[in-house]
Amino acid sequence: MVSERSLEVLKAIVRDYVASREPVGSKTIVERHAFGVSAATIRNDMALLEDEQLIVAPHTSSGRVPTDKGYRLFVDHLAAARPLTSAQRHAIETFLGAPNDLDEVLGRTVRLLSQLTNQVALVQYPSMVRARVQHVELVRLGDARLMVVLITDTARVEQRVVETDVALDEPLLTELRTVLNGAAVGLLLQDVPTALRAVPQQPGPTPRRSAGSSWRPSSSRSRRTGRTAW
């Protein structure tokens, strides 16, 4: 069982190691922090932390460095989170509220994080190569206008507003929803276009439609939200 003082020693080790990038020894802790105990007592606390796999010695007779488990404990329970001031909050909202493009929002976020922490900040888009279709939803927006919502198994949501040459009604939407989900669900995103192109040739009941029109959605006008083409 790790004592409260041992946890304070862990906090000191994490902070000193992050600041210096050098292993932290008991003598350094006694000199830099007011624990009011001897270096031998601090060594006992460090031994307990090492037994709990919260710190480790990178070399024989060296100081100690935090382990991944030690960092996690520090972040979850020991680090004091300071609330933002009203000025800081306003500055962040203004900085992130201006752009409309996803790329610009992410770029601004990375720059802001780097400035606040004085550390290198990186952003990585989620990979869509292995994403599979989980569900396709159709929402009627007008007589010949609908929103197509695609949800992947990676929790990514893509939307398109599509204009068709079909008189849309709920029975037709229900049928189209069934056909699209039957053709696309479970497929990799890269395989969906080929599957959808085969939909008109699949057997099944003839959809209800206005005279002289096709029930297949037209791509004459669409609005993108997101980055993935489908």
pLDDT of residue 214: 41
Give the global pTM.
Answer: 0.41
pLDDT of residue 109: 83
- Averaged pLDDT for residues 12-31: 88
Give the residue extent of every domain in the chain: 4-78, 86-117, 133-225
pLDDT of residue 211: 40
Q: State whether the Cα torsion 9-10-13-15 is positive or negative.
A: negative
Model confidence at 61, pLDDT cuts 50, 70, 90, reads low
Q: What is the 8-class DSSP label of residue 191?
A: G
pLDDT higher than threshold 80 for residue 62: no
Average pLDDT, the chain: 78
Which of 17-31, 66-80, 199-213 is the most confident on average? Answer: 17-31
pLDDT of residue 187: 92
Which of 54-58, 98-102, 107-111, 214-218 is the most confident on average? Answer: 54-58
pLDDT higher than threshold 80 for residue 218: no
CATH code, residues 4-78: 1.10.10.10
Q: How far is CA 133 from the centre of its chain?
A: 18
pLDDT of residue 229: 41
Helix spans in the chain (H)? 4-20, 26-32, 39-51, 68-73, 86-97, 102-117, 170-184, 192-197
For residue 61, is it left (φ>0), alpha (ψ between -120 and 50) or beta?
left
Model confidence at 198, pLDDT cuts 50, 70, 90, reads confident
Q: Pick 67 or 201 by higher pLDDT.
A: 67
Q: What is the 8-class DSSP label of residue 132?
A: B
pLDDT of residue 123: 78
CA pair distance 161, 176, nearest whole angstrom? 15
Task: State both tokens at 160.
Answer: 């398109």
Under a CB-based contact definition with an 8 Å cutoff, are residues 164 and 144 in contact?
A: yes
